[in-house]
Structure 1
Amino acid sequence: MDKNLSEKIKVLSFICTVMVVYRHGFNLHAFGLNDNIDSYIAFIEYGISKLTEVAVPYFFIVSGFFFFRYTYYDKNEYVKMLCKKIHSLLIPFIFWNIVGIIPLILMNQFVFEDYPWKYILQLFHSDWNGVLWYVRDIMTLMVLVPLYAWIFVLNNRWLYGVVSILLFLNWIPVDCGWVSTEGMFFFFLGGLLQKNESVIKKRIPISLLTVLGTIWIISCFFFPFFWHIHRYNTLLGIIILWQTYHYLPKQLFYWILNISSYSFFIYVTHAFIVKGMKVSIAHYFWGNEVVALISYIILPLLTVGISLYLGKAFNKLLPNTFRIVMGGRG
């Protein structure tokens, strides 16, 4: 893979991580506010929530794109892949879930079970750190690859088309189940893009991109509950995200690229930080729409800054441990 494509994926991964933070910064319920779309704050928060739905599908696409560079019907390749994923996915999954127990205990929200095996279920349900459902699903899709990798081995366009249509029709947007329909569709789509890398190198003219971007934004803010266009809206958003990259200011691009190695750390730690801050502020400003809106705009950015600072401090203090619990990232 060429350097430009690698940098593009890193920069957009960081941007999508910030989007995920904004998704968890949603605070209408925390402030006890009406989520009726007629409310200006609900209009803004639901609109941004719809915009940021492209983040997780993008992560699945990238995972599928890298994963399907290889075939896994050779026993050695499959075993080698499993060993690699233990380090890059399973260890971080277990570690950051266990870390999530601490704030749950402090907030008296940890569920103590009567039987030890139920803790295993809690772990793989990501009950202790909800954002890790994505890592759980990625691991599951990778472990099960012998069941469906034959599709890519046959490399038949008609077969690709049929499978894509079936997965698309089965796809439920924002599905976080195990294994999610969203994950299956976009992970497979990433594999298709790996087979047809020339597609992702095409550029849409700025005039057309502007029109499509305007349509997407209008759809997100004015039709947030219109489920008939939900899936098409997400696909359009991913295309716009990918194409908008070309028009990022160079200074912003290089700044993001320099800190992009901390994307995963921000991803696994942000939920505790943003939730703690928004709940604390809501406690003192219950029902205040102005404070809620300001908090919604500022707290996710503040959370990214705090996570970034903690990540750098962790990496500097315990570099070997940091590398292990980050799965080799950073």
Structure 2
Amino acid sequence: MIRTNKDSTLSQVITALRFPLIVLVLFVHSNFKGVSFAWDNALKASFSLPIGNINLSLGTFIDFISGSLAPLANPFFFFVSGLLFFHCRQFTRKVYINKIRHRLQSLLIPYILWNLLFLLIIAIGSSLRPGWTAIIDKPLSNFTIKDYLLIFWDTSLIGQKGGLATPIDIPLWFVRNLMVLSLASPFIYTTIHLLSRWHKRLALYMLLIFLYAIHYLPDQWEGWGQSLLFFSLGATFTILKWDVTKLFKPYGIYGIIGACLFYWAQLANLMYAALIVTIISLTTYIIEHRQQQGLTSKLIPNILTDSSFFIYAAHTLPQGIILWSLKLEWLPITGATSVLIVYFLSPVILTTVCLLSFILLRRISPISLYFLTGGRQ
């Protein structure tokens, strides 16, 4: 099992950021553009202010939050995963095997269970409404063995609909990619180690260059490229024994400046790298300042930290209800104000529903919760 000293600043920073990053994921999925005519019409009718080539409006505000800023969560999670995966005195074959064994519990088992749960829900929906399979363009009655296997890998390959290249529980594409990267970790470690022997910072420089170059990859490969590069970026700091909390702490303001410049240049991945520096720097400052004042370094309540993975894996279930409510116009969208209310309430509703489910499950069936969260409870 991957462990860090619970009293270390790094561990405290990671713990403090876990739930806020999940909230960013919820905001990514709260942009309901194209879901209903009422929503789209309200956006079109909202106030707009043309500035050069940019049209500032409610739509551009939501697109910025959900489409540019909030997606930071995924590269940040990959960065932290790479940072922690190689957190050991020496990355040996025995260490690698132990880490993979742990991931059978923490990643693979929850991955299988959540996707099976979503498949069950699809099956129930299909029985109530024949032919309905939500994001899959093929009735379950026509599924082949290959289709059932693709449920756990890439549902866009089922039928002719295409769409997101994710498992049936859409957010778990992150877990899928992370499992592949964990298996490939000896190659990542060897590459970083060899590059660092030639020059201490060579691996870091090359990864930053690749983060720029990934902008030109085809869309179907960009997601995998982002996963690999940010995982490797986090791995580089750990393999070279660099403490990111100490290293990033003085450079928070430079991270903000860099993020603004990269956003203007439409280099999203470099913007995320700069924001990672700023966020870790700021969180480190806050924690150390609280410690100096004799206050607790815990910034987020335990229940929110403990339930973060559950919220991440489960939130598309209640989100489906919000989507259908918008499509059927059960939620009154009459203008910009109602759009803003629904937009900001959506993450709150998703968090509340999933959190209450987490608490209930922990009371009535802690064993089930243990397997669904991979021991994160």
Give the equivalent residue in structure 2 for 1:271. Answer: 316
Give the equivalent residue in structure 1 for 2:242. Answer: 197
Give the equivalent residue in structure 2 for 1:283. Answer: 328
Shift of 1:313: 1.0
Shift of 1:88: 1.1
**Contact persistence 1:64–1:188 (CA under 8 A):** yes
Aligned partner of 2:180 among 127, 130, 140: 140
CA distance in 1, matches of 2:253, 2:222: 37
Matches within 5 A, 1:93-108: 93-105=111-123, 106=125, 108=132
Matches within 5 A, 1:217-296: 227=266, 229-245=267-283, 246-247=285-286, 253-284=298-329, 285=332, 288-296=335-343
Aligned partner of 2:151 among 122, 125, 140: 122
CA distance in 2, matches of 1:308, 1:273: 12
Shift of 1:73: 5.1
CA distance in 1, matches of 2:227, 2:322: 30
Deviations 1:16-37 (A, max 9, x none): 0010011001112223316777
Q: Helix, strand or coil for the counterpart of 1:196?
A: coil
Q: CA RMSD in A?
A: 3.2
Deviates more, 1:144-153 or 1:88-97: 144-153
Shift of 1:253: 4.8
Give the equivalent residue in structure 2 for 1:160. Answer: 203
Tell me the amino acid that sits aligned with residue 149 of structure 2: I
Q: Helix, strand or coil for the counterpart of 2:328?
A: helix
Shift of 1:171: 2.8
Q: Helix, strand or coil for the counterpart of 1:26?
A: coil
Shift of 1:142: 1.1
Shift of 1:57: 0.8
- Structure with the largest fraction of helix: 1
Aligned partner of 1:41 among 52, 55, 58: 58
Distance 1:193 1:257, change over 3 A: farther
Shift of 1:306: 1.4
Tell me the amino acid that sits aligned with residue 82 of structure 2: G
Deviations 1:110-156 (A, max 9, x none): 54244212211221124311110000001001112233321244442
Q: Helix, strand or coil for the counterpart of 1:180?
A: helix
Percentage of pairs with the same residue: 21
Deviates more, 1:308-317 or 1:188-197: 188-197
**Contact persistence 1:65–1:193 (CA under 8 A):** yes
CA distance in 1, matches of 2:297, 2:333: 36
Paired residues in the alignment total 322
Aligned partner of 1:9 among 14, 19, 22: 14
Give the equivalent residue in structure 2 for 1:61. Answer: 79
CA distance in 2, matches of 1:15, 1:92: 22
Give the equivalent residue in structure 1 for 2:228. Answer: 184
Q: Which has the greater radius of gyration? A: 2
Deviations 1:65-115 (A, max 9, x none): 1111245552x4433332221111111111111122244342722542442
CA distance in 2, matches of 1:273, 1:73: 43
**Contact persistence 2:10–2:244 (CA under 8 A):** no
Distance 1:173 1:290, change over 3 A: farther
**Contact persistence 2:28–2:70 (CA under 8 A):** yes
Matches within 5 A, 1:310-329: 310-329=357-376
Tell me the amino acid that sits aligned with residue 167 of structure 1: F
TM norm structure 2: 0.74
Tell me the amino acid that sits aligned with residue 114 of structure 2: W
* Structure 1 alignment gaps of length 5 or more: none
Deviates more, 1:33-42 or 1:121-130: 33-42
Deviates more, 1:173-182 or 1:91-100: 173-182
Distance 1:198 1:161, change over 3 A: closer
TM norm structure 1: 0.84
Aligned partner of 1:171 among 199, 209, 214: 214
Distance 1:211 1:164, change over 3 A: closer
Deviations 1:207-251 (A, max 9, x none): x8568647857986xx5xx52x32332222222222232348878
Tell me the amino acid that sits aligned with residue 134 of structure 1: F
**Contact persistence 1:92–1:325 (CA under 8 A):** yes
Deviates more, 1:295-304 or 1:241-250: 241-250
Shift of 1:40: 2.3
